[in-house]
């Protein structure tokens, strides 16, 4: 019988919070539904394009590889559907909600310069955190975060 006395500790990024996990899963479903609706609107807009056999020339063709989108509630996995253009005209679907190559939401991008220029240099993180968290960030400070 093998006895192991090693205790596994969670990594710093692996904090399990049931509420945050529920919010991320809900955000993921909401993003999927919104992007699907966006794709349907795009396909309806170009439904009149037909090939020589009378079939639609632009059709769904699976999904792009999934990626993590960093949001204010943490990373959310997103998959954007893609289309295939049988006519060769080059029709491509680009989501306005999740543009290509975007890895962070705009609220996170807006907070990064604040965190770098103002928050880290002066130690006052409240303004930068208010961009991410909202008005509830007023009570957050370095001493609260370190406890």
- Best CA proximity match to 81, nearest among 66, 103, 101, 102: 66
Q: Which two tokens stand for residue 74?
A: 């943490």
C-beta separation of 77 from 67 below 8 A: yes
For 100-117, write each residue's pLDDT tens digit: 877 777 666 665 665 666
**pLDDT surpassing 60 at residue 68:** yes
- Best CA proximity match to 28, nearest among 83, 96, 74: 74
For helices 126-133 and 106-113, angle between their N-to-C axes, nearest 10 degrees: 180
For 70-96, write each residue's pLDDT tens digit: 887 778 899 999 998 888 888 888 888
pTM: 0.62
- Best CA proximity match to 64, nearest among 27, 29, 39, 89: 39
> Phi first, then psi: what are they for 83, rounded to 5°?
-120, 160
């Amino acid at each position: 019988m093998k006895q192991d006395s090693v205790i596994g500790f969670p990594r710093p990024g692996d904090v399990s919070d049931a509420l945050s996990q529920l919010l991320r899963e809900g955000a993921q479903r909401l993003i999927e539904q919104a992007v699907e609706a966006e794709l349907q609107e795009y396909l309806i807009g170009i439904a009149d394009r037909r090939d020589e056999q009378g079939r639609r020339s632009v059709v769904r063709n699976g999904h792009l590889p999934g990626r993590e989108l960093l949001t204010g509630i943490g990373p959310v996995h997103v998959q954007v559907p893609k289309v295939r253009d049988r006519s060769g005209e080059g029709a491509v679907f680009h989501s306005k909600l999740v543009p290509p190559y975007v890895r962070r939401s705009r609220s996170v991008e807006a907070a990064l310069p604040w965190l770098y220029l103002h928050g880290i240099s002066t130690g006052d993180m409240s303004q930068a955190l208010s961009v991410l968290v909202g008005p509830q960030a007023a009570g957050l400070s370095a001493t609260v975060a370190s406890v």
